[in-house]
Amino acid sequence: MTTVGILGGGQLARMMVLAGAPLGLRFVVFDPAADACAGQIAPLQVGAFDDNAALAEFAAKVDVITFDFENVPAASARWLAERRPVYPNPAALAVAQDRLSEKTLFQELGIPLPPFADIDSREALAARVAEFGTPCILKTRRLGYDGKGQFRIRSQADIDAAWQALGAQAGKTGLILEGFVAFDREVSVVAVRGRDGEFRAWPLTGNWHVDGVLSASLAPAEVTAAQQATAIDYARRVAEHLDYVGVFALELFCRGDALLANEMAPRVHNSGHWTSDGAETSQFENHVRAVLGLPLGDTRVLGYASMLNWLGQMPDAKPVLAEAAGHWHDYGKQPREGRKVGHANLRADSPLALAEALQRVGDALGRQAQVAPVVETLHRTGMTPG
């Protein structure tokens, strides 16, 4: 009996446990919070990520270790890696934890991205804003996610406010300034690499964010065959360079034919949640397979698939469950403003059938604005010959 240890016990761990159970696996999740939602379906060890005694106890219970949370201190990941196999490897995790090292890597690998600069003072900020032009975005280098730790600088007049908001982080998480990309759409590559180097990617996913947080996804994304191939090639370059094992996501901006990298997430990703009900093999199952050195499953999409994120509190499940291929994912979390508490997956064989299903769900739940950009994209796809 193999036991997989997961650092972080949120919804991602929960979905890995659900996907790994049919493979005969056991899991132990490790989280600082006693109410971590994966703890409802797997043994939970409560502990701090930097508590070596707790980590030693955890390591003793498991055969292999992975992550649901990328901000586990790199030193803890390295410490564990001396005791148990850890995938992805701690060096890869460390790169992905820091926007500056991640973007420097993209640049070294020839992956296009918006201009960026390390910012360590107000003067450096002012100089780089003048260089990049406005708008631009000041972000914390580490520990930011879902648009948190970001300040949009719309004009030179915002520099003081930006420094006031984030300047104190310069000596802590570090800061990075990025040029703003007036993108047409956002896409992500969700990909997996096995222990033996086998690489597979799901079709690109189109993503819509609201206030920096994912709201809806659609696969396949509305991209050209060339963009699809290019994006997957970028993901492969990153994975091979880092000797990455497991699932990861590479987020990209599309502007015309151009693709610009934004960031990578060294874990299963919200933009791959549709794969649970819309792909031959889900990201969760393939992550577990990769970590264990098992053959990887096929990543093809079964028709057209969409995911709607539920933030704050769960809506009524019935309109989704009434759909032919509507699936409900409730993470078992307490409601809280802005918190990711669940999602719905919908699938259909044709773009128009999926658009209709999404519209019915959007109307029934009063979520017309959430489904609108996906429905609009599906209508365009449905009208396009071929």
Q: Which residues are near ligand AMP by CB under 6 A?
A: 114, 137, 144, 147, 178, 180-181, 186, 209, 212, 251, 262-263
Show Cβ contacts of residue 369 under 8 Å, excluding neighbours closer than 6 positions.
Answer: none
- Which is nearer to ligand AMP, 31 or 186 (by Cβ)? 186
- Which is nearer to ligand AMP, 92 or 176 (by Cβ)? 176
Shortest spacing between CB 27 and ligand AMP, in angstroms: 28
- Which is nearer to ligand AMP, 143 or 294 (by Cβ)? 143
Whole-angstrom distance, CA of residue 262 vs CA of residue 116:
11
List the beta bridge partners of residue 342. Answer: 310, 330
Shortest spacing between CB 11 and ligand AMP, in angstroms: 18
Please spell the DSSP secondary structure of 87-111, one letter per residue: SS-HHHHHHHH-HHHHHHHHHHTT-
Shortest spacing between CB 329 and ligand AMP, in angstroms: 21
Which of 241, 249, 307, 250 lies closest to 275 in space, CA to CA? 307
Shortest spacing between CB 344 and ligand AMP, in angstroms: 21
- Which is nearer to ligand AMP, 18 or 216 (by Cβ)? 216
Whole-angstrom distance, CA of residue 372 vs CA of residue 85:
44
Whole-angstrom distance, CA of residue 1 vs CA of residue 273:
27
Whole-angstrom distance, CA of residue 14 vs CA of residue 29:
9
Shortest spacing between CB 65 and ligand AMP, in angstroms: 26
- Which is nearer to ligand AMP, 255 or 318 (by Cβ)? 255
**DSSP category for residue 260:** E
CA distances from 348 to 55, 147, 189, 342 (A): 44, 31, 21, 21
Shortest spacing between CB 309 and ligand AMP, in angstroms: 13
Which of 38, 48, 46 lies closest to 14 in space, CA to CA? 38
Shortest spacing between CB 318 and ligand AMP, in angstroms: 31
- Which is nearer to ligand AMP, 144 or 351 (by Cβ)? 144
Is the Cα torsion angle 353, 354, 355, 356 positive or negative in sign?
Answer: positive
- Which is nearer to ligand AMP, 99 or 200 (by Cβ)? 99
Which of 170, 260, 272 lies closest to 221 in space, CA to CA? 272
- Which is nearer to ligand AMP, 198 or 257 (by Cβ)? 257
Shortest spacing between CB 315 and ligand AMP, in angstroms: 23
Shortest spacing between CB 258 and ligand AMP, in angstroms: 13
**Location of structure tokens 């396009």:** 384
Other C-beta atoms closer than 10 Å to the C-beta of 164 total: 11
- Which is nearer to ligand AMP, 151 or 163 (by Cβ)? 151
